[in-house]
Structure 1
Amino acid sequence: MTGAMDGHAEDRGRVYQASGDQHISEHHHHHGERGDEPAGLQGPDSVRRPAVGRPPVVLRDRAEVLDRLRSSVREGHGGEVYVLYGMGGSGKTAVAYTLFQLATGEGARVGLWVGASDRASLRAGMLAVAADRGAGDAELLAARNGLRPAADLVWQCLDRSAEPWLLVLDNADHPEILRDGSWLRTSSRGTVVVTTRRPAARWWPGAELQHIGVLPREDAARVLRDLAPHSGNEQEAARIADRLGRLPLALTLAGGFLSQQVLDPWTMETYGRRLEEGEGIELIDRGADTLSEEDPRHLVGLTWQLTLDAFEARGLPEATALLRLLSRFAPEPLPLSLLNRTEVDGALPRARCETALRALLDQSLTELVDVGERCVQSHAVLLDSVAAATPADLVPALHTTAVRLLDAGVPRVPDAGPDDPGLRLLVPHALALLRRAGDPSVSADAVALATRLATALHRKGDYLSACETARAAADLGERWLGTEHRHVLAARSRAGRALFRLGEYPSAEELLAHVHAAQERLFGAEDPDTLDSRHGLQLVLGNLGRRDEALSLLRSTVTGRRRALGPAHPLTLRSRSSLLVLLPASELAAEEDGELLSLPTECVRHLGPDHTVTLGAHHNHAWALYLLGRFDEADQEIRLVADAYRRRFGPDHPLVLSAQQLLSRTRAAQGDVSVAVDIMTDVVARRERGLGAEHPFTVAGRRLLAELSSGG
């Protein structure tokens, strides 16, 4: 982008301008501190031309918005105010510019463009509008000197305009200056369009508000291709657009950079790779036209700094503090409940969090979204910009606070239960903390948090999310902690457990065996983490048909957990319960009067009748009774377990389906084959939907169903 500057400023005036597709420009005229330059004395060079530097090459998307706006500038229409709002860089000015061209072209309207970023610019621009619409020199001089109300003069001239008009008030990010002077009014002779970052309806009574957000993926890719058509294909452009959050300003700068390269042109593939390698905001901003050092506000990295400075000036430092805290998280929905906790005090006083959040919402720096839970969501480029500009001495406290907030949102001891979409909302934020981490101690806490979150997802039956979360946490944690850190190994172990539940038995065995060996070498054979991996490994081996190896590992796990955790610990009881499944009928028969077959009673005594481990012990005990040929007892017990599971977890939870499968066996053993077939038909259908047709559990279910159906 090599176009010349269209804007200019004199004396202390400054013009911040960027060029290119989806361009946004802001003009700020600052007068002398001692009033040496009367406000409004110097007017703009033109109000008939939009002060936008280089206009968009093509305005992508926005068709629905433009159709609605275009109808307002057709013949016979007037008296309307439209407010285009959105975050900085979203293309509000580009939409207004395109409408301006339509109105002055096909609509045959007079177009009037006023920069409304500050009082002086607004006043000077509006008086220039009055002059354009017929105000005399004496009237203008009286208004400039304060001898008559300036806004009244402007609107009298607009009301008596012989031609219909479109008035654009651009960059009205301080709507109070419009209200204080009563500058924003309506007239039957024309239409007003305002661009702003301030969406609150109280600023715009009677106006129609229109949000201008990021572009759809396909259109965002086309913006890059419009500017740099020879740098890559649509797929590569779409990947870069995703990485840039489809923000028009960022896309414009990226396309500008790609189009500027002469000696060593970059491809989109190269650009995308450099973004992924962490160059981020600095690389994006290299796409801007070269400006003097004191004119940097056209950069993505600084486009929101004006608002942050305004927070400080208005006595709202907590708004900046909250935005910096949000920049530790991901650009995904973040549950509002997390911000309403005492742990937020590490970044800003909890009592001021409400005020801070309202300020961010008011400036379109974040938005409220409802995804089944009320959340706040901020744009990726904004968060990256704020994170990059956060003073280094503030980062440790912000990161620690973010970890503690998420930590408070994850169950301390994850338990089995129904699907919980709220837990999945936390996953991208837990991983974002690891990506932004720089301190090993904070990284260790973040890995432990992500692993506990993966465990919670696993217990809810969401094995895929659990696996991906644990694996990503381990990969990210290795950067700061190394491959053999306790928390990294624990995350790998959790990923292995999830792989088993996903039916990836060989991969699960390989991973768990590797982790178990490392933990045993580093921490000892009876370390709780080692024992946890050993318990998981025996599950895999048992399902691979290697019963003897699995039983040996399980017995050592029981012994180790007895010594390390005590005989009544839930994990000890869980491992002992697993013996009821793994032991053959001959050994179970020898246990007829032993403690193993009385384990459910022991679990009730230590944990209570409704504890998940207690229910699991009843489940496994019913299997043991089935193997021993005690079908009536087994049927009664598994019925109770299946009913309890269904009430707690819902009909599709893996534990429910496992209990139902055993119930079909006990029903068939008692001669009720038709009921058994109905039960297994339902189990197989649910497993196919939840796990897939080729999952080992589904395959085993189909095999059992075939046996029952054939009377085998």
Structure 2
Amino acid sequence: MGNLASTYRHQGRWREAEGLEVQVMQMRKRVLGGEHPDTLTSMGNLASTYAHQGRWREAEELEVQVMQTMQRVLGGKHPHTLISMDHLASTYAQQGQWDKAEQLFFQVIQTRERVLGNKHPDTLVSMSNLASSYIRQGLWHEAAELEVQVMQTRKKVLGDEHPHVLTSMNNLASTYRHQGRSREAEKLNVQVMQTRKRVLGDEHPDTLISMSNLAATYSNQKRWREAEGLQVQVMQMRKRVLGCEHPSTLTSIDNLASTHCYQRQWVQAEALSMEVIQTKRRILGDEHPLTLLGMGNLAATYSKQGRWREAAKLEVQVMQTRKRVFGGEHPDTLTSMNNLAYTLKLQARQEEAIALMERCFQSRQQILGKHHPDTQSSRDALSSWQAE
């Protein structure tokens, strides 16, 4: 059962994986006890499946149990305990609980540096995870600094073409892209893509991730045709290799739809968005983060065409679902509020738009910090609207 659940996970079939994992966990608790390593592994697997479905609170609840049990049974320095702390920290970060996430990441890094050394692969994974937390907070400089350190150490220890080195280069390229350092991002993206094609093959999932990242860098530079060309290739290969309903395939379709939208190719954008939303609803469910992201993208396509009523209707739905599932202060919920406020403004619903943007700005300032790009964007919009 555990092996089948693992297969479902790799296929992105989270609901089916969850059903089996619950059975395995309950059976192991009954037969082996709540503190047996195999029971804790089952709980960790189920938490991971919850996280992939955007069910952060349920994931957090399980991960806290696993971490506390491992600390008590195995000790605070045991590798499995440190892995459980890393997982919990990542879940905190996904929910925008930055202080808790950073505190745990720092603990893990310090312990691993002391026990394993600062060049050990596990230590570098923790540093990379902390960098990811910085990225979510818009702390690009801090993220880039850590990622350069991780990349250089991995190159020295593992060699230029090791998968972990290429992952570091990809992460750094993504950070450069967010900083507007497009040329540096592109150079790294191309290097990683070419190496992965040569070492892993054209259709390896990691190669396809590299191609997708390069397409994102092209999009940032408004090089829509080049982005589209790569995205079509990625989508077609993922359909062939992973299947039409795999989450990575659906993400590819979403990315391509967005590129069509930016090129004002409304018919293609809308058709792809509708197709991907229907599939996501069937496979992942109405409340999955990827389903809600797809609905948000379709709303953006409507908005760019001046179809503001349809856009607002979708945005309200996305915002309310995110509030219910993730909480009112989750970064994704605040993105929904921001988008809806803009649509209300376009409909000349000035007072509603300002009131919503005010709430969004205050929450972003509290959760993300006043220097986060999203907070600054909300503040600038609010100031501009109030001055009209």
TM range (shorter): 0.5 to 0.7
Q: Verify: 1:605 aligned to 2:282, yes or no.
A: yes
Q: Verify: 1:421 aligned to 2:99, yes or no.
A: yes
Rounded Cα–Cα distance in structure 2 between residues aligned with 1:665 and 1:591: 21
Rounded Cα–Cα distance in structure 2 between residues aligned with 1:508 and 1:660: 30
Say if 1:663 and 1:682 are closer, same or farther in 2 by CA, change over 3 A.
same
Deviation of residue 524 (structure 1)? 2.8
Rounded Cα–Cα distance in structure 2 between residues aligned with 1:434 and 1:515: 28
Per-residue CA deviation, residues 520-556 of structure 1 (Å, 9 max, x unaligned), is 3332333222322333333333233332333333223
Rounded Cα–Cα distance in structure 2 between residues aligned with 1:409 and 1:578: 33
Deviation of residue 577 (structure 1)? 1.6
Aligned residues: 320
Per-residue CA deviation, residues 556-609 of structure 1 (Å, 9 max, x unaligned), is 3322332333222222222222233221364222455x4532322211111112
Which of 126, 151, 154 is 1:477 aligned to?
154
Rounded Cα–Cα distance in structure 1 between residues aligned with 2:254 and 2:190: 22
Q: Verify: 1:643 aligned to 2:320, yes or no.
A: yes
Give 1:496's aligned residue.
173
Say if 1:523 and 1:452 are closer, same or farther in 2 by CA, change over 3 A.
farther
Which of 81, 84, 99 is 1:405 aligned to?
81
More strand by share: 1
2:87 match: secondary structure: coil
Q: Verify: 1:587 aligned to 2:272, yes or no.
A: no
Rounded Cα–Cα distance in structure 2 between residues aligned with 1:482 and 1:437: 20
Say if 1:438 and 1:641 are closer, same or farther in 2 by CA, change over 3 A.
same
Deviation of residue 499 (structure 1)? 4.1
- The 8 Å contact of residues 138 and 372 in structure 2, kept in 1 or not, is answered as no
Rounded Cα–Cα distance in structure 2 between residues aligned with 1:581 and 1:509: 20
Q: Verify: 1:564 aligned to 2:241, yes or no.
A: yes
Q: Verify: 1:617 aligned to 2:291, yes or no.
A: no
More helix by share: 2
Rounded Cα–Cα distance in structure 2 between residues aligned with 1:430 and 1:648: 29
Say if 1:664 and 1:340 are closer, same or farther in 2 by CA, change over 3 A.
closer
Rounded Cα–Cα distance in structure 1 between residues aligned with 2:99 and 2:316: 29
Give 2:211's aligned residue.
534
Say if 1:625 and 1:507 are closer, same or farther in 2 by CA, change over 3 A.
same
Say if 1:420 and 1:701 are closer, same or farther in 2 by CA, change over 3 A.
closer
Rounded Cα–Cα distance in structure 2 between residues aligned with 1:414 and 1:561: 27
1:410 match: secondary structure: helix
Give 1:85's aligned residue.
none
Rounded Cα–Cα distance in structure 1 between residues aligned with 2:225 and 2:376: 23
Of structures 1 and 2, the one with the larger relative CO (CA 8 A, separation 6+) is 2
- The 8 Å contact of residues 505 and 540 in structure 1, kept in 2 or not, is answered as yes
Say if 1:556 and 1:654 are closer, same or farther in 2 by CA, change over 3 A.
farther
Per-residue CA deviation, residues 52-73 of structure 1 (Å, 9 max, x unaligned), is xxxxxxxxxxxxxxxxxxxxxx
Which of 305, 323, 326 is 1:628 aligned to?
305
Alignment of 1:128-143 (within 5 A): none
Rounded Cα–Cα distance in structure 1 between residues aligned with 2:381 and 2:118: 53
- The 8 Å contact of residues 67 and 84 in structure 2, kept in 1 or not, is answered as no
- The 8 Å contact of residues 245 and 283 in structure 2, kept in 1 or not, is answered as yes
Deviation of residue 686 (structure 1)? 6.3
Per-residue CA deviation, residues 315-340 of structure 1 (Å, 9 max, x unaligned), is xxxxxxxxxxxxxxxxxxxx997875
Deviation of residue 508 (structure 1)? 3.8
Alignment of 1:233-382 (within 5 A): 340-341=68-69
1:526 match: secondary structure: coil
Structure 2 unaligned spans of 5+? 1-62
Instruction: Tell me the TM-score normalised to structure 2 length.
Output: 0.65
Structure 2 counterpart of 1:514, one-letter code: Q
Give 2:251's aligned residue.
574
Deviation of residue 618 (structure 1)? 1.1
Rounded Cα–Cα distance in structure 2 between residues aligned with 1:686 and 1:553: 37
1:674 match: secondary structure: helix
1:560 match: secondary structure: helix
- The 8 Å contact of residues 684 and 698 in structure 1, kept in 2 or not, is answered as yes
Deviation of residue 517 (structure 1)? 3.5
Give 2:225's aligned residue.
548
Say if 1:634 and 1:351 are closer, same or farther in 2 by CA, change over 3 A.
closer
Per-residue CA deviation, residues 637-665 of structure 1 (Å, 9 max, x unaligned), is 11121233345555665433432332123
Instruction: Tell me the TM-score normalised to structure 1 length.
Output: 0.38
Q: How big is the alpha-carbon RMSD for the aligned residues of Structure 1 and Structure 2?
A: 4.1
Question: Could you say which structure has the larger radius of gyration?
Answer: 1
- The 8 Å contact of residues 577 and 617 in structure 1, kept in 2 or not, is answered as yes
- The 8 Å contact of residues 434 and 447 in structure 1, kept in 2 or not, is answered as no
Rounded Cα–Cα distance in structure 2 between residues aligned with 1:412 and 1:564: 32
Say if 1:410 and 1:630 are closer, same or farther in 2 by CA, change over 3 A.
same
Say if 1:352 and 1:666 are closer, same or farther in 2 by CA, change over 3 A.
closer
2:265 match: secondary structure: helix
2:306 match: secondary structure: coil
Deviation of residue 710 (structure 1)? 7.7
Rounded Cα–Cα distance in structure 2 between residues aligned with 1:484 and 1:672: 55
